[in-house]
Structure 1
Amino acid sequence: MANKEKGEKNSRFSRFLNRIERIGNKLPDPFMLFVTLSILVILLSGFIALFDVTFTQPGSAEQITIKNLLSAEGLQFMVTSVIENFVGFTPLGIVLTMMLGVGLADKVGLLETFIKNTILRAPKALITYAVIFTGILGNLAADAAFVIVPPLAAMVFYNVGRHPLAGLAAGFAGVGAGFTANIIVANTDAVLSGISTEVMQTIEGAATVTPVDNWFFMIVSTLVLTAAGGLVTEKIVEPRLGQYNGGLTKTFEETTALEKKGLRNAAVAAVIYIALLVLALAWPDSSLRNDGGGMIPSPFISGIVPIIMLFFIIIGTAYGITVKKIKNSRSIAQYMGEAMKDMSSFIVLIFAVSQFIAYFEWTNIGTWLAVTGASFLESADMTGIIVVILFILLTALLNLVVYSGAAQWGLEAPVFLKMFYFLDYHPAFIQAAYRVADSSTNIVTPMNPYFVIVLAFMKEYDKKAGLGTLMALMLPYSMTFLIVWTLLFLMFVLLGIPFGPGIGVHV
């Protein structure tokens, strides 16, 4: 009877997962999704304009109307603004600039060697936590971490006599569910803050968001998620899997002496660069600080993207020269060019996202929805932190069908960022709430393009593994990360801990 009940539960669960997969597969890819949304905005603006809708934005007495993209003025805007919408879209320049440095470090092998060396040098008792921690840091290599960390973690577990699927699950959890966290400012910070700034620029005098505005919260998140992920692996996932009897023989290549020397040289270069940067900041009347000698705001904060780019160029070059991958100056440009090729799909996506956001803002539909939503919440006396928690839960659910973090934030930010701003919440605070939800469910959605790839890695150890097998393996991580991360988020709120330099809950 128990087995029958278990089978029925598994069947219902499988049907639920299959339903999500079918619905998700019917959605177009992110580029076409935003093309479709842009068309809907055009049609919606024409429909709403028939009713002469007007509203007043908080803090202003000016009457604002919904503008019609199907009017002569609207058609002129769409035709003449395409290039400006794309080239002037803030995240585009930020991300491409960051990737010049991060991409170089990735292409010469520095990031992969660092990941491999971090796991292999960890004491056996700490291997689980090293895998989770390394996976979280792996977002420095962007999506490349999805194909580096999980299979490497599985081999590490296998070679120390533990179940390889537990290692694979831990690696996937760190990379996927912890994707947005890190102990240093990463590419994700640049992408999301760029979209947030783009949205908030349409409100006069509104606070903007910089790549460091969630930094403090993400540092603590990295440590907390590492502990949570390690406990889930050792207390839930690994006991459930039991002893591995697959009879498979797999080995991995350890870090070579030359690669270790490259890491040492990269570390030396990093220390020198950071020391010089600290010296420049501490220098009397430093041009990197503001006129009052402070750091918030300052040229240092405003210029954090090129500063980070130069950091990765320096350590990547130091490593590349040591391992003989960089032989001359042309090699550096070549590797940077290869990194830019990998960004082609992102550039294509951003073209569609930039047009959608521009149309949404020009018509004033986004502001209208935000003002209306804020007014409704105020009239219903729902302006407290509970509304933000509901936003986290909604985002976690939406992430099941809209996987891309940049795409989903591009979809949500024009409405929710403004709505919460009108309720006096800082946009960087709401962005942090979004990041909690967006990352937590990355590992349980078939819309994640790397879900199938991880499933392929899984089949190397278990030929019978399927979608439900991987989903069941990852659900404990997803649920735990969402709960623990939300509690950490609330702790920051209740204790008044800044989410980044000078960033609190309210504007």
Structure 2
Amino acid sequence: MGMETAKKGFFNKALNGIERVGNRLPDPFILFVGMAVAVMIASFIFSMFDASVKHPGTGETLPINNLLSGEGLKYILETMITNFTGFAPLGIVLAMMLGIGLTEKVGLFDYAIKKSIMKSPPWLLTYAVAFVGIMGNIASDAAMLLVPPLAAMIFYKVGRHPLAGLAVGYASAGAGFTANLFIVGTDALLSGISTEAAKIVDDSIIVTPVDNWYFNIVSVFMLTLLAGFITSKFIEPRLGKYKGDAVELEVEEEDPRSGKALRNAVIAGLLYVALLAVGIFWPDSPLRGEGGTIIPSPFISGIVPIILFLFLVVGITFGISVGKIKSGKDIAGYMAESMKDMSGYIVLIFAISQFIAYFSWSNIGTWIAVNGAMFLESINFTGIGLIIGYIIFTAMMNFLITSGSAKWALEAPIFVPLFMQLGYHPAFTQVAYRVADSSTNIVTPLLPYMVVVLTFMQKYDKKAGIGTLISLMLPFSICFLIAWILLILVFFYAGIPFGPGISPFLN
């Protein structure tokens, strides 16, 4: 399996064609600037025909507002800053990253991931790699760079094919990206965009970071078992016995204080959770809602700062114990470093916020949602089959736009209002998006991490090419997507909530 075979056959020719098309797409920032301009032009054309739409909630007839009119240009100039600063995901994600970023910078995530894999017994190794890879998205994309080479090295040391370890590590971290036992930055990012999109139809609907939590928890265990099964039944038999000469990857020398630091961080985290539990279940707790409810309650609505403080507690404890935090200045410094990593995201959000604001103000989003819903109803295509069709559509879109946040920012203003018109909750549409986006991450040549993982792969097989990697990833990608669709069907028909109080349908 090498570069000689990677370019042969219809499938690889198709992948090469997709790569050429995708490489011609502009940078996501420029893409959304272009989309904002396209909305302006579309609003002008719509207004020429006096297009309007009846708002499904208020019954008010809304005209398509022309962004290129005097009023429209005034709106653009007067709201450009507030569109950006008032964009819901911006504050949520930056706040979450203050905690997550600090925890990553002091080295807690790297150490925990390495120890989780290295100390696994041989019979459990594959499943441990899969579990750690899936859970690794706590540290955002870092798991896609850390888990695959580490898993390959460990597989090699225990006499198994190193590419099998690399495959399950990359597949779990990349295709299992949306699943986690905890609430992470991705939940905050996507829910914020979903809320903004839902406002096109109903200002009162808020999608919180916990709205997909139950589904994500089940997904972790399902994908862990599935990844282990695929590796042992398909990947390793196909690879056979490894006969190459491996170039062992260097592992940074471990700080002797890290073990004690991790223990201290876990204890601090558990004490924080225990204190929080006491605060929730205390009689007449201010964290409960009216009548003592948890859903809704200040606890649910304030979940982002609660999670932020959890990461700060464990991160600061680990940093102090390992000697990386010696004063408050160090804490602020690590937080500042994490914000530097978010600079590209902040720039992208400026363009995304303008696009969504223009889409909403022009009423084009409402027009598409209402007329699209009427069309789907007229052809009797409104059930769960529509959701499955949307999942497949988004999975294919991943071959052109690999950024999950950028793609959701593009799709959410169209599909969230559209599915709301058909009675579906925005959080349910978000679940459909997440499983589609995650499952095909690992088979698109446009994902930046694919080149890095290919470099790791070539340390064990110098002839390996992008076709080699994709051929190893396809079984994971296809099986994950099918399994996730089936899991959505189970939740849908069994009436299992996708998150606290979240059903597929609007109340």
Q: TM range, normalised to the smaller chain?
A: over 0.9
Aligned pair partner of 1:71 in 65, 69, 72: 69
Are 2:18 and 1:11 aligned?
no
Unaligned runs of 5+ in 1: 1-5
| Preserved CA contact (<8 Å) 1:177 1:442 | yes
Q: For the residues of structure 2 that align with 1:219 and 1:7, how far apart are their CA atoms?
A: 39
Q: Deviations over 1:225-283 (max 9, x none)?
A: 11111111111111111111221241545755421111100110011000000000011
C-alpha contact (below 8 Å) 1:176/1:439 kept by paired residues? yes
Which residue of the partner structure matches residue 54 of structure 2? Answer: 56
Counterpart in the other structure of 2:122: 124
Given that 1:369 and 1:415 are in contact with CA atoms closer than 8 Å, whether structure 2 keeps it comes out as yes
Listed as ranges, the gaps of 5+ residues in structure 2 are none
Q: How many residues align?
A: 502
Please give the alpha-carbon distance, in whole angstroms, between the structure 2 residues aligned to 1:8 and 1:313. Answer: 46
Amino acid at match of 1:118: S
* Residue pair 2:152, 2:162 contacting (<8 A) in 1 also: yes
Q: Distance in 1 between matches of 2:176 and 2:351?
A: 27
Identical positions, percent: 57
Deviation at 1:321, TM superposition (A): 0.9
What is the aligned partner in structure 1 of residue 248 from structure 2?
Answer: 250
Partner of 2:23: 25
Q: Greater CA deviation, 256-265 or 166-175? A: 256-265
Greater mean deviation of Cα atoms: 353-362 or 50-59: 50-59
The 1-side partners of 2:5 and 2:101 are apart by 47
Match of 1:200 in 2: 198
Q: For the residues of structure 1 that align with 2:228 and 2:474, how far apart are their CA atoms? A: 14
Q: Look up the equivalent residue of 2:336 and give its one-letter code.
A: G
Alpha carbons 1:117, 1:255 under 8 Å: kept:
no
Distance of 1:195 and 1:205 partners within structure 2: 13
Q: Which residue of 2 aligns with 1:322?
A: 321
Q: Which residue of 2 aligns with 1:3?
A: none
Query: Using the alignment, how far apart are the partners of 2:319 and 2:443 within structure 1?
Result: 36
Corresponding residue for residue 486 of structure 1: 485
Q: Secondary structure of the equivalent of 2:295?
A: coil
What is the letter of the counterpart of residue 171 of structure 1?
A: G
- 2: CA distance, partners of 1:331 / 1:201: 40
**How far apart, in 2, do the equivalents of 1:328 and 1:205 lie?**
44
Moved more, 102-111 or 226-235: 226-235
After TM superposition, list the pairs within 5 Å mapping 1:248-397 onto structure 2.
248-250=246-248, 252=251, 256-397=255-396
| Post-superposition offset of 1:9 | 10
Deviation at 1:59, TM superposition (A): 3.2
Over 3 Å counting, the alpha-carbon distance change for 1:327 and 1:9 in structure 2 is closer
What TM-score, normalized to structure 2? 0.97
Spell out, residue by residue over 1:262-319, the C-alpha distance to the aligned partner (whole angstroms, 9 max, x if none). Answer: 1100110011000000000011110011121001111111111111111001101111
Counterpart mapping for 1:85-100 below 5 A: 85-100=83-98
Aligned-partner residue type, residue 199 of structure 1:
A
- Which residues in structure 2 correspond to 1:29-178 (within 5 Å)? 29-178=27-176
Contact (CA 8 Å) 2:6, 2:468: kept in 1 or not? Answer: no
Q: Deviations over 1:48-85 (max 9, x none)?
A: 11100011122332111111111001111111111101
Letter in 1 for 2:376: L
Normalised by the size of structure 1, how large is the TM-score? 0.97
Contact 1:207 1:426 in 2 (8 A): no
Cα distance in 2 for partners of 1:198, 1:58 equals 18
3-state SS of the aligned residue for 1:64?
strand
**8 Å Cα contact 2:134/2:177 also seen in 1:** yes
CA contact (8 A) 1:56 1:62 kept: yes
What is the alpha-carbon distance in structure 1 between the residues aligned to residue 154 and residue 477 of structure 2? Answer: 23
Tell whether the 8 Å contact from 2:443 to 2:474 is kept in structure 1 after alignment: yes
Residues 472, 489 of structure 1: alpha-carbon distance in 2 compared, 3 angstrom cutoff: same
Structure 2 residue identity aligned to 1:349 = L
8 Å CA contact 1:181–1:218 kept in 2: the answer is yes
Task: For 1:492, give the aligned amino acid.
Answer: F
* 1:129/1:227 contact within 8 Å kept: yes
SS, match of residue 55 in structure 1: strand
State how far apart, in whole Å, the 2-side matches of 1:294 and 1:201 are.
Answer: 26
Match of 2:231 in 1: 233
Structure 1 stretches of at least 4 aligned residues deviating more than 3 Å after TM superposition: 6-10, 251-257
Q: Secondary structure at the match of 1:165?
A: helix
Aligned-CA RMSD value? 1.5
